[in-house]
Amino acid sequence: MKITAIRTVVVNAIHRNWVFVKVETDQPGLYGWGEATLEWKTRAVIGAVEDLEQFVLGQDPRRIEHIFARMTKFSFWPLGSIGLTAVSAIDQALWDIKAKDLGVPVWQLLGGQVRDRVRVYTHLRRARIGAQVGTNDIGAFCAAVEETIAMGYNAIKLGFVPYCAYEATVPDLLHVEKTAMAVRERVGPDVAIMTDFHGRPASPEVAKAFIDVIAPIRPLFVEEPIQPGHASAMAGLARRVDCPLATGERLFTLREFAELAELQAVAHIQPDLSHCGGLTGGKKIAAIAEAGQMGIAPHNPMGPVAGAVALHFDVATPNFLIQEEAVGLVPWFDEVFDHPMRLKDGCWEVPTGPGFGIEINEEAAARHPFAPEIVPALEAVLGDGTIASW
């Protein structure tokens, strides 16, 4: 079996363009899907996929580690977020092809089933574009949280922390504390609440100030309390707060995750399987996390291929904690995609079909072509005009 072509299919989802990668083979009807979505880097990622194609064409797609090495080692330069996103999508598609060729779900190739269902969490109103509610009106915010939980979830991730840089003002701290307590009171003790700081605090001291007022609601974890890439600073923060921390969506290499494990910097890591080397990279990162006694909660606010990939990974990963999902991001999600993400009692069911169980209606996808995204990060400006971290 040989790889004959690699194609990209772009679907605009308002805040991001989903980039799907289709790896085709010389076997009639046998191909694989991967996802290379990287916010606001669409054309760069497509170019990276095209650059990598020369290392992949003519290869046997079932030799996944071999092709992974061809893409990463022949590239010579460290690939970074754009290059590794392209690698990840191609890698995912190879797993899809191999599992389809064998007639088994991908999770069988990852070591087999270790759980009967995959717990998931969503965002406010399932992150539906145009349906978000800010925390200025705490009552309306809590009502939206309650509405979201009623959709069948028992876990939700929320943003409590404002743009703040090097200062946590008293009014901001009091408002965050009041909001967090109101949410916990509204949903009760049985709903898991996570909060994403998005690296907005520019120092561990600011992060600690906000964590301290949120900690009493017992969040499952606080995500990216500081900017990624400084494992020792994260470890120092973790030892000073009474709350589990998590990070990893903007980390890519085994070395970066190994540093977190060595320093026991966080309780849980969040690799994105569309950025960290696909399933080939993800499996190794999960083993590093297990050795470091850390849970794994894969990042995924993206499209359906990324969701299906994460689902199969979660089914077969022993130290899995919870999965981020974005099935409700756009109203036409199920019109364009046949996918295995089926919600029941706050969990996804274990898929049984061959491959990832994902199919894209390319004719329907063409109705949502590439367009410049709406970039919410542009709003990340402090009162004095300083650019903040989004």
Alpha-carbon distances of 96 from 224, 232, 355, rounded to whole Å: 31, 37, 5
Task: Give the residue from 48, 50, 90 showing the smallest Cα distance to 69.
Answer: 90
Exposed e or buried b per residue across 270-306, where buried means at least 16 C-beta atoms within 10 angstroms of its C-beta: bbbbbbbbbbbbbbbbbbbbeebebbbbbbbbbbbbb
Structure tokens at 129: 């574009």
- Please give the DSSP secondary-structure letter assigned to residue 48: H
Contacts of 183 (CB under 8 A, 6+ apart): 141, 142, 145, 158, 193, 217
Helix (H) or strand (E) holding 280: helix 278-291
Marked catalytic residue, from 123, 198, 268, 275: 198
- Quote the CA–CA distance of 108 and 300 in Å, as a whole number: 22
Conformational region of residue 350, where left means phi above 0, alpha means psi within -120 to 50, and beta covers everything else: beta
Q: Are 26 and 58 in contact (CB under 8 A)?
A: no
Please report the beta strands in 73-154, taking only residues with DSSP state E, as ranges in sequence order.
117-123
Residue 299 annotated in active site = yes
- Quote the CA–CA distance of 50 and 210 in Å, as a whole number: 44
Marked catalytic residue, from 123, 275, 299, 368: 299
- Please give the DSSP secondary-structure letter assigned to residue 358: -
- Quote the CA–CA distance of 96 and 193 in Å, as a whole number: 33
Q: Are 90 and 45 in contact (CB under 8 A)?
A: no
- Quote the CA–CA distance of 67 and 280 in Å, as a whole number: 10
Task: Report, as residue numbers or ranges, the catalytic residues.
Answer: 198, 299
